[in-house]
Amino acid sequence: MSLEVISDCAAVSYGDPDHLIIMFSSTTAVRRGDFDFKDFSKDLPQTILFLRDDDVRTGYHNGINGLTSNPDETVEFLRYFIDKIGPKRVTMFGTSIGGYGALMHGFLLGVDDIITAGTVSYVDPATRDAKGGAGERVPMSMQWGVDWFASRGVEPKYLDTWPLIEKNADKVTAVKMYYSPDDEVDSTQTLHVARLPHVRAIARPGTSHRYIALQLVRDGTLARDFATPTDQLLSLDPEAAIV
């Protein structure tokens, strides 16, 4: 697989133009200065667009460095890129805060399907407080993000993806969110948005936030989901699904 660099935080691997997978990286990739799942993707036949937010505090609300400065601009870039490729299917994927990027941009733009693991679905201190402080992995990290934007005179628009999902429910055909039921933060964050028939939470007992995506890669689940047509995606693993 050869990567064509678009900017410091965006690159594309060209494969089958009929299926575009947009992969949003986690903060782990930010710290490495790389993209999540780059090695795994070498064996995938699809065209893959890799994206990351180069600041661990901003959760894709600051855009893609070198390309955009906010989520709405990122959506416009993605619309342009999709028009350029002309795929029949668009999938968004991400783990942890990358899952947030997939949900936020997916329901803003409208795509065929979204697959996430260890999903972050909200970074809003108000949502956290309404849940009695639940859903925050690093204490006060949500407030740090809000304060970072406030110091720059910016008010981020999409700190909680649920209102966006509820409003734009018909823009996405299928959503699969894998999570560890043994991890309280993962459970809280994932089940916060698993409230619609086509937005499913899939429990993976015995794993953790840190390793769930690796498990999906190693056992073939992720490659299987990418290869499964959108209209069949939610019929897989029905016994593990929670609606």
DSSP secondary structure string for all residues of 167-193: HTGGG-SEEEEEE-TT-HHHHHHHHTT
Integer angstrom CA distances of residue 43 from 1, 37, 115, 123, 150: 8, 11, 18, 33, 43
Domains of the chain: 4-242 (3.40.50.1820)
Contact assessment for residue 53 and residue 101, using Cβ atoms and an 8 Å cutoff: yes
Query: For 167-210, what is each residue's pLDDT tens digit?
Result: 999 999 999 999 999 999 999 999 999 999 999 999 999 999 99
pLDDT of residue 155: 84
pLDDT of residue 240: 55
Instruction: Give start and end residues of each alpha helix (H) in 87-159.
Output: 97-109, 125-130, 141-150
The answer to whether the pTM exceeds 0.85 is: yes
Query: For 8-59, what is each residue's pLDDT tens digit?
Result: 999 999 999 999 999 999 988 888 888 999 989 999 999 999 999 988 778 8
Q: Is 243's pLDDT higher than 60? A: no
